[in-house]
Structure 1
Amino acid sequence: MKNIFSSSPEQYAKYRPDYPQALFDFIYPLLSNKECAWDCGTGNGQLAIELAKEFRKVKATDISEEQLQHAFTADNVEYSVQAAESTCFEDNSFDLITVAQAVHWFEIDKFNEEVKRVGKPNSLIALIGYELCSISPEIDKIIRYFYEDIIGKYWDPERKHLQSQYQYIPFPFKELETPSINNIKLWRYDHLVGYLNTWSAVKHFVNKNNYNPISEIEKDLRQAWGNIELRRVIFPIIFRVGRVK
């Protein structure tokens, strides 16, 4: 599992979008118990803190200690630094296992074996992600240009899994049909720029070239945003759910 989000965990916690209630509304009725959940690759705990509202216990893991230091807290969430592919959890521990915007960084076959080991009979595994947001045709065009032409060669190879909506990630579970879900946020311009700064390819670009590539689009992006204080930002959700055993 790659660790590339340790350098600016406070930005990640502040600017990355959380997850819509529709995900939980789909998952929870499928569960026979809500005793214990594992949120793997939890980052700053955005998903774990939501699971904590329904589950008696939540175990949340990540390989980045820096991310966990900025994680949201709750009495029933226990954070630990562990690799996705090998944990200290006992067999048959979890009713639900979730991975949000992280599974593409895993050694997926090893992770799947770990899921089979720690998932209870009839438990669920949910893979959640999102790719490019949509705001307006003019803004979208600038962001797409930035994504493909300015920082395109700086994306890690694993990014392809998000572009293909996780369809080519091995998923050896009984897959369930999931609804189409959009995550809709109201953002100010500064929030959008903060979010772009969390992109892994931006970090790679800065490390290679010693300047921030967002400076190349900032003037056009600000003009396209206009004088509107809040704009609707739409993230199409990637969502795969399966029975573990």
Structure 2
Amino acid sequence: MSDFKDHFAPVSDAYGRHRPGYPPELFDWLAGLAPHRRLAWDCATGTGQAAGELSRHFDEVRATDASARQIDTAEPRPGVTFAVAPAEASGLPDHSAALVTVAQALHWFNTDAFYAEVCRVLSSGGVIAVWSYGLLETGDARIDAALLSFHDADMGPYWPPERRHVVNGYRDLAFPFQQLDTPEFAMQCHWNLEQLTGYLGTWSAVARCRDATGEDPVERLRSRLDPIWGDLARVRQVRWPLALRVGRVPSAAAHA
């Protein structure tokens, strides 16, 4: 745990308010793959967005995060037990969980150590699901171009190197499991400009930029978006396609 870098402690309060929720259909599908419904582990839970959805399907959800600030900010949810723990040491009993999920966080992990913990924790036939989402889409070419420039050019120097794995949809990360075919899922919201910029303020690169420069880059972006957006109260559809990888632990590994 000594090498854990908490990129989100400075924005934990905003993270809970402004990060979009994951589609319920994703959790319906994942629960249908699980060999039982007794326990699911949501690793790197953040403020608990995925854990809350999992609690609709499982008797118990263990939601862990290495960031104490994120756990402190998480909203209590029935059936969810929050705990501060690194990805490689969940504290769960051997072969107890039917499902392990990691939402928008695998790129921060020591994956070898985490995967060993997954094999220890998952029961026979258990499932691991990891997903990420990159830059949002509004369907307006001018807005999307401004957001792309903000992400790549303005925030480029401030992204941690691990961000490249989010951009390429986790394609280059090892995934040593029996991989399953997945449907397409996407997060969707209907936001005004205030909500959109609130979300942008939760980016780790934005937090690093603020610390380095003493200025808020989101305010500069907003000045570019104001004339494009039109009426500031206007609500637009915002969409993030999910890059999803799902697999089962081989039987031998699950009982090693």
Q: TM-score range, shorter-chain basis?
A: over 0.9
Matching residue of 2:120: 117
CA drift at 1:216: 2.3
Matching residue of 2:29: 26
CA distance in 2, matches of 1:93, 1:219: 51
Specify the SS of the correspondent of 2:115.
helix
Structure 1 stretches of 4+ with a deviation exceeding 4 A read none
CA drift at 1:118: 0.6
Gap runs ≥5 in structure 2 = 251-256
Matching residue of 2:236: 231
Correspondence 1:30-179 to 2 at 5 A: 30-135=33-138, 136-179=140-183
CA distance in 1, matches of 2:98, 2:171: 24
Alignment deviations for residues 45-74 of structure 1 (CA, whole Å, 9 cap, x no partner): 000011111100000000111111221222
Gap runs ≥5 in structure 1 = none
Look up the equivalent residue of 2:151 and give its one-letter code.
Y
2:131 and 2:243 in contact (8 A); partners too: yes
Look up the equivalent residue of 2:235 and give its one-letter code.
L
Specify the SS of the correspondent of 2:100.
strand
Specify the SS of the correspondent of 2:123.
strand
1:19 and 1:183 in contact (8 A); partners too: yes
Matching residue of 2:196: 192
Computed over aligned residues only, the root mean square deviation of the Cα atoms, in angstroms, reads: 1.1
CA distance in 1, matches of 2:68, 2:155: 27
1:2 and 1:106 in contact (8 A); partners too: no
CA distance in 2, matches of 1:187, 1:205: 24
CA distance in 2, matches of 1:32, 1:62: 25
Specify the SS of the correspondent of 1:157.
coil
Q: When the two structures are superposed, what TM-score results if normalisation uses the length of structure 2?
A: 0.93
CA drift at 1:219: 1.4
Q: When the two structures are superposed, what TM-score results if normalisation uses the length of structure 1?
A: 0.97
CA drift at 1:150: 0.9
CA distance in 2, matches of 1:96, 1:25: 12
2:24 and 2:53 in contact (8 A); partners too: no
CA distance in 1, matches of 2:33, 2:181: 12
